[in-house]
Amino acid sequence: MLPETMKTVELREPGAPDVLEPGSRALPAVKPHEVLVKVCSVGVNGPDLVQRRGHYPPPPGASDLLGLEVSGEVVAIGRDVTRWQPGDTLCALTNGGGYAEYVAIDATHCLAIPEHVDLQDAAGLPETFFTVWSNCFYQLQQPAGALFLVHGGAGGIGSTALQLGAALGLRVMTTCATDEDADYCRSLGAERAINYQQEDFVEIVREAGGANLILDIVGGDYIARNIKAASADARIVQLAFNKGSKVELNLMPIMLKRLIYTGSTLRSRPDAFKTAIARSLEAEVWPLFAAGKIKARTHAVLTFDQAGEAHRLMESAQHRGKILMVPGSAD
């Protein structure tokens, strides 16, 4: 028997992490194509922070609660759902609503728990794996030995990209802030971890022949520096702008090197695209967990009443891997 209400993390108003507070709501209604999941844990991601500040609104019809990925148990299914049954465990990409004890999710955006990953840690997989896979590898050919430069390799996106690149036979380099982060990145498969406070990544990458693929979450002056570090015919993927999105740029090197400069936000992509990525991940990436080539990387697990602390930790960029939250309190 399901309860009538559930605990949530509410956004009182746009602002700093302290605007997140405990709340309560009725359970979400389940549409014919959806499953209702009792949340085991939820991932904390960069878009959550942006939405908390008053940007990155949910798409029409989506929950206004934060939370774009969860793991948990199916407790009810819509009439059109055939794959999942009550009692099944899964992880899933959501359009919002993950900061709650229960969330309704498009059934085709749900994935099996990979082998060797426990239910709690699985919540940290969907957002970063959907993002990195769709932007860097899905229907794109990266030859073995290509040089993949990942900025911010110790974070959630970065640790996912490093592992995937190494598992797929690429040479991987990354930038990071500390020697401890560098050690962590090398443990994930990075050939070279560049402490950007002490070294120039452009010089190091160019000496290695130039990057064939670059994944950037920094922006600002890194945009022009990425173009310098890129090889001919390289692909540069922009996923965030921690140092700003407005820059003055000389576009001539893009023409001369025949570069592809691209980027995307995941939440606004069509449901059919997310479904295709989910199935591709299960077929092509989930077996890498079974083979021990990649692992879930969880930095910290906090509770719903520590949501503000979770966001502060995310903003500090002091984490290695994913930050998760579980329903309940720390008491």
Q: What local confidence, expressed as pLDDT, does residue 1 receive?
A: 87
Can you tell me the mean pLDDT for 88-93?
Answer: 98
Give the closest residue to 24 by CA, choosing from 76, 115, 135, 102.
102
- In three-state form (DSSP H/G/I as H, E/B as E, the rest C), the secondary structure along the chain is CCCCEEEEEEECCCCCHHHEEEEEEECCCCCCCEEEEEEEEEEECHHHHHHHCCCCCCCCCCCCCCCCEEEEEEEEECCCCCCCCCCCEEEEECCCCCCECEEEEEHHHEECCCCCCCCCHHHHCHHHHHHHHHHHHCCCCCCCCCEEEEECCCCHHHHHHHHHHHHCCCEEEEEECCHHHHHHHHHCCCCEEEECCCCCHHHHHHHCCCEEEEEECCCCCHHHHHHHHEEEEEEEEECCCCCCCCCCCCCHHHHHHCCEEEECCCCCCCHHHHHHHHHHHHHHHHHHHHCCCCCCCEEEEEEHHHHHHHHHHHHHCCCCCEEEEECCCCC
* Digit-coded pLDDT (tens) for 256-313: 999 999 999 998 899 999 999 999 999 999 999 999 999 999 999 999 999 999 999 9
Which residues have a Cβ under 8 Å from the Cβ of 59 and sit 6 or more positions away?
95, 267, 268
Q: What is the rounded CA–CA span in Å between residue 220 and residue 242?
A: 8
In sequence order, what are the beta bridge partners of 20? 11
* Digit-coded pLDDT (tens) for 219-261: 999 999 999 999 999 999 999 998 889 999 999 999 999 999 9
Q: What is the rounded CA–CA span in Å between residue 324 and residue 121?
A: 8
In sequence order, what are the beta bridge partners of 97? none
* Digit-coded pLDDT (tens) for 7-51: 999 999 999 999 999 999 999 999 999 999 999 999 999 999 999
pLDDT at 213 over 80: yes
Burial class (CB in 10 A: 0-12, 13-18, 19+), 25: middle
- For strands 230-238 and 260-263, give the pairing: parallel
| pTM, two decimal places | 0.95
* Digit-coded pLDDT (tens) for 138-178: 999 889 999 999 999 999 999 999 999 999 999 999 999 99
**Domains within the chain, CATH numbers bracketed:** 5-125+267-326 (3.90.180.10), 130-263 (3.40.50.720)
Q: Count of CB atoms within 10 A of residue 10's CB?
A: 17
Give the closest residue to 263 by CA, choosing from 281, 240, 280.
240
Work out the angle between the directed axes of helices 179-187 and 156-167 (0-180°, nearest 10).
40
* Digit-coded pLDDT (tens) for 95-148: 999 999 999 999 999 999 999 999 999 999 999 999 999 999 999 988 999 999
Q: What local confidence, expressed as pLDDT, does residue 331 receive?
A: 63
Q: What is the rounded CA–CA span in Å between residue 66 and residue 9?
A: 8
CB 116 within 8 A of CB 292: yes
Q: What local confidence, expressed as pLDDT, does residue 329 receive?
A: 78
Can you tell me the mean pLDDT for 202-227?
Answer: 97
Q: Output the six-digit token pair for 256.
A: 């001369």
CB 328 within 8 A of CB 22: no
